[in-house]
Structure 1
Amino acid sequence: MGSTITLHDLAKTYPNGQRAVRQVSLTVEDGEFLVLLGPSGCGKSTLLRMIAGLETISGGELHLDGEIANDLLPSERDIAMIFQSFALYPNMTTAQNIGFPLAVQKQDHDQVSAHVKSVAQTLGIDHLLDQIPGQLSGGERQRVAMGRAVVRRPSVFLMDEPLSSLDTRLRARLRTEMLAVTRSTGATTIYVTHDQAEAMALGDRVAVMRDGILQQVDTPRNLYALPANAFVASFVGTPRINLLHGTVYAPVDGVMAINFGAQKLTLSYPLTHDHQMLRVVQGQPLLIGLRPEAIRIADKTHATAFERAMTGVVEHTEFQGHEALLHLSLGGQRADVPPQLPGHATHHPARRGAADLLRQFRRRTGLFDRHPKLPADIQPPAQSPARKGIGELVVRDEPGSRHRRGQHIPLLIDVRNLLIFNAHGERISPDPTRTPEL
């Protein structure tokens, strides 16, 4: 069985004043596989080492199964850790490396041998028991390191980017095996990685960190569809989300639209609850997020009731084998993720402000009960969108795409799938209480 791990405002500050981890609060349930995801230097490995007892805790509390564990020695925490570097004893055979934790406990030799053979068979390395690490490939050495951790049956596995030194194909194979092995033991697992594809494939939940601050903890599905902020939205998903500068245009007696500069995107009527909330931020600088699957190239099929037309100019075509990625310009301005506000944790952002303003707006005007006069859809301008050199938009296309640089492409945008953030990068739409539609 696993252990429940609870962090209460856990913090790490080094003697030079560097704050590596800032007031992280998180609960990992018994048997859960949680992934810590973030860029290099965000504090995820430091947090893992604090849980393992390899780093001292500067503030807050660590609880293992409800008992405070801040001052427990690593050997007292019933935790096994797997590192990127394998950390095998070079003069020991595979069998000796796997069985080392049991040998240290002075367990019976025959029992140790039986456990080692069983674990080796599970990991598919039972034919390598007599070889030393120098005779093994990278993938085989990582299986030995995994076997050494599994053989003692700990209640917690901590894994610090264990597959990052391996090639892509081997990583994909080993992460599936690693997940199966940890599931079979029932242990609680925390896995550190900077690879969002790996995080989304492995985690029951994923915790995204930035600059030592926890941004969001959620299932992979919700993390993708309902990111807490622009950083999470841009870090999760391949290809990366399209982020553009825009403003909301919301006339009292007309159709709401989002202005991207050279072009505008009208919103469907009647307005959804998500789009109604945008009235309170009209005129303010916003970041508009569009996943590539929310955009399609207009073909002979008709637009749905939720699709609106725009025009893009091809800047570059990126061939991926199974698909092509078109980099397009809309004549707007591509946005970058805003910097992290100092000490500002956003994994539970307050979103009541916009909702309260919306209710006040309803009471004062009653506009949402009216039927505004609907002018014709705002169409793309006749002139070419301004060329920026780098397209603001990435759109998926068929692998046999023949589109050329400079070509004008008609697009259809599904307005239901807009992700809208304020100037600080906090999401204001869609409504965080709704169920994502994927």
Structure 2
Amino acid sequence: MGSTITLHDLTKTYPNRQRAVRQLSLTVEDGEFLVLLGPSGCGKSTLLRMIAGLETISGGELHLDGKIANDLQPSERDIAMIFQSFALYPNMTTAQNIGFPLAVQKQDPGQVTAHVQSVAQTLGIDHLLNQIPGRLSGGERQRVAMGRAVVRRPSVFLMDEPLSSLDARLRARLRTEMLAVTRSTGATTIYVTHDQAEAMALGDRVAVMRDGVLQQVDTPRTLYALPANAFVASFVGTPRINLLHGTVYAPVDGVMALNLGAQKITLSYPLTHDHQMLRVVQGQPLLIGLRPEAIRIADKTHATASERAMTGVVEHTEFQGHEALLHLSLGGQQADVPAQLSDHIPHHQARTSAADVLRQLRRRISLFGRHPALPGATEPPAQSPTRKGIGELVIRDEPGARHRRGQHIPLLIDVRNLLVFNARGERISPDPTQVPQL
């Protein structure tokens, strides 16, 4: 069985006052496989080492099954850790490496041999029990490291990028085996990686970190569809989400539109919950997010009610084998993820904020009457595209399609799948199921 891990305002500050982890709160349920995802230096490995007891905790509390564990020694936490570097004893055989934790506990040698044999068979390395690490491949050494962790039957597995030194094909195979092994033990697992594809494939939930701050924790599906901010949106998904600068034009008695520079997207009525929220941010600088699957090349089929026409100019074609990626310019300006993002906002706060925004919207509409436009609703003029600051749009295409650089391509954009962020990178609309209708 696993353990429930609870982090409450966990903080790590080094003597030079560098803060690696900033008041992070999170609960990992018994038996859950949680992935910590983020770029190098975001604090995810430091957090893992704090849970293991290899780093001191500067502030906050760590609870294991409801008991505070800040000051427990690593050996008292019933935790097994798998490192990126394998950390095998070079002068020991595979059997001795796997059985080492049991030998240290002075268990019966016959039982140790039986346990080692059983684990080795599960991992497919029982034929390597007499080999030393120097004679094993990278994948085999990683299986030995897994076996050494599994043989103890701990309540918690902590894995610090255990597959990052392996080639892509072997990583894909081993992560499936690793998931099967941890599931069979019932242990709670926290897995650190900077590979979003690995995170999405493995995690029951994924916790995204940036600069020591937890940005969002959710299921892979929710993380992709409803990112809390532009950083999460851009970090999750291949190819990366398209982010463009834009503004909203929202007259009360007219058609709402998103201006992207040289082109604009009109939004159909009745407005979705997300689109209703855009009325109160008209005229403000926004980041418009478009996943590649929200855009398709216009063909002989008619556009659906939620699709809007635009035109892109081919800049580059990237052949991927099973598909091609078209890099297009719309004549807008590509947006970068803001350097600073606010901390993750709890769901109950998001619901309150949404209600406040809608009340403000009703009040403003009642003040200005039914027909006049809201303040700032003057439609901005279309801008001419310039080579400097051209916005890059990446879409999927058939691998056999041939498009020339400079070719104009008709596009259809599904407005239901727009993601809109403010200038700070925060998603303007919370989960649409939590926003009351006007």
Distance 1:41 1:365 in 2: 47
Q: Which residue of 2 aligns with 1:336?
A: 336
Q: Which residue of 2 aligns with 1:215?
A: 215
How far apart are residue 185 of structure 1 and its match?
0.1
1:355-380 superposed Cα distances (whole Å, 9 cap, x missing partner): 4232232255369x98999xxxx9xx
Q: Is it true that 1:345 corresponds to 2:343 in the alignment?
A: yes
Give me the TM-score of the superposition, normalised by structure 2: 0.93
Distance 1:389 1:249 in 2: 22
**1:59-208 equivalence runs, <5 A:** 59-208=59-208
Q: Which residue of 2 aligns with 1:275?
A: 275
Q: Which residue of 2 aligns with 1:407?
A: 407
In the alignment, is the contact (CA less than 8 A) between 1:8 and 1:25 conserved in 2?
A: yes
Distance 1:111 1:36 in 2: 35
How far apart are residue 348 of structure 1 and its match?
2.6
In the alignment, is the contact (CA less than 8 A) between 1:88 and 1:145 conserved in 2?
A: yes
Distance 1:364 1:234 in 2: 34
The letter for the 1-side match of 2:166 is L
In the alignment, is the contact (CA less than 8 A) between 2:354 and 2:430 conserved in 1?
A: no
Distance 1:401 1:384 in 2: 29
The letter for the 2-side match of 1:36 is L
Q: Which residue of 2 aligns with 1:9?
A: 9
In the alignment, is the contact (CA less than 8 A) between 2:84 and 2:163 conserved in 1?
A: yes
In the alignment, is the contact (CA less than 8 A) between 1:13 and 1:58 conserved in 2?
A: yes
Q: Which residue of 1 aligns with 2:301?
A: 301
How far apart are residue 339 of structure 1 and its match?
1.3
How far apart are residue 251 of structure 1 and its match?
1.5
The letter for the 2-side match of 1:424 is R
Distance 1:12 1:196 in 2: 25
Q: Which residue of 2 aligns with 1:291?
A: 291
Residues 390 and 131 (structure 1 numbering): CA distance in 2 closer, same or farther, change over 3 Å? farther
Identical positions, percent: 89
Residues 432 and 89 (structure 1 numbering): CA distance in 2 closer, same or farther, change over 3 Å? farther
Q: Is it true that 1:229 corresponds to 2:239 in the alignment?
A: no
1:370-417 superposed Cα distances (whole Å, 9 cap, x missing partner): 8999xxxx9xx9x98544486521010000120111000000000000
Residues 370 and 390 (structure 1 numbering): CA distance in 2 closer, same or farther, change over 3 Å? closer
In the alignment, is the contact (CA less than 8 A) between 1:329 and 1:387 conserved in 2?
A: no
How far apart are residue 256 of structure 1 and its match?
0.2
Unaligned runs of 5+ in 1: none
1:278-318 superposed Cα distances (whole Å, 9 cap, x missing partner): 00000000000000000000000000000000000001000
Q: Which residue of 1 aligns with 2:376?
A: none
Unaligned runs of 5+ in 2: 374-378
In the alignment, is the contact (CA less than 8 A) between 2:332 and 2:390 conserved in 1?
A: no
How far apart are residue 183 of structure 1 and its match?
0.2
The letter for the 1-side match of 2:280 is V
Q: Is it true that 1:240 corresponds to 2:240 in the alignment?
A: yes
In the alignment, is the contact (CA less than 8 A) between 1:88 and 1:97 conserved in 2?
A: yes
Secondary structure of 1:433 counterpart? helix
In the alignment, is the contact (CA less than 8 A) between 2:252 and 2:370 conserved in 1?
A: no
**1:358-397 equivalence runs, <5 A:** 358-363=358-363, 365=365, 385-388=385-388, 391-397=391-397
Residues 44 and 404 (structure 1 numbering): CA distance in 2 closer, same or farther, change over 3 Å? same
Cα RMSD, aligned residues only: 2.2
Secondary structure of 1:271 counterpart? coil
Secondary structure of 2:11 counterpart? strand
**1:246-257 equivalence runs, <5 A:** 246-257=246-257
Residues 161 and 390 (structure 1 numbering): CA distance in 2 closer, same or farther, change over 3 Å? farther
Secondary structure of 1:409 counterpart? strand
The letter for the 2-side match of 1:150 is V
Distance 1:317 1:371 in 2: 47
The letter for the 1-side match of 2:293 is E
Secondary structure of 1:428 counterpart? coil
